[in-house]
Structure 1
Amino acid sequence: MERLNSKLFVENCYIMKENERLRKKAELLNQENQQLLFQLKQKLSKTKNSNNGSNNDNKSSSASGQS
């Protein structure tokens, strides 16, 4: 019985160590994901802003062409 107990204890220690390793990996992946999401939002914001500027220029030039 004690032998089985020792075996289960060692197995439990291994599982806890593996769990901690995976938790750290998940945390790093989450941080990377957050950074990529932030960069994507910045690019989309810049694209949206530059498109709005282009649209305003197009409206001004087409309006002046119609006069």
Structure 2
Amino acid sequence: MEIKNMINKTFIESSLKEYFVKKRGCKILFPSEFDEKISTHLRNIDLIFKEARNLILVKILLFSSTESYV
């Protein structure tokens, strides 16, 4: 089966937020909530979730391809 439409970044972000926040009870954090030294390194991270004592850092990479198959 050929995939005609590439999934966009907004769809991936909303799906991850739904899973981590609604289903796992995580909290969304923003780089501005960290020290300045740390927040400069986090600016390339798309999503940050906090679950108990764990931080989950997500970077979304999208690749385009002329032919994709499932």
TM-score of the aligned structures, taking structure 1 as reference length: 0.24
Structure showing greater Rg? 1
* Larger relative helix fraction: 1
* Larger relative strand fraction: 2
Highest RCO, 1 vs 2 (Cα 8 Å, sep ≥ 6)? 2
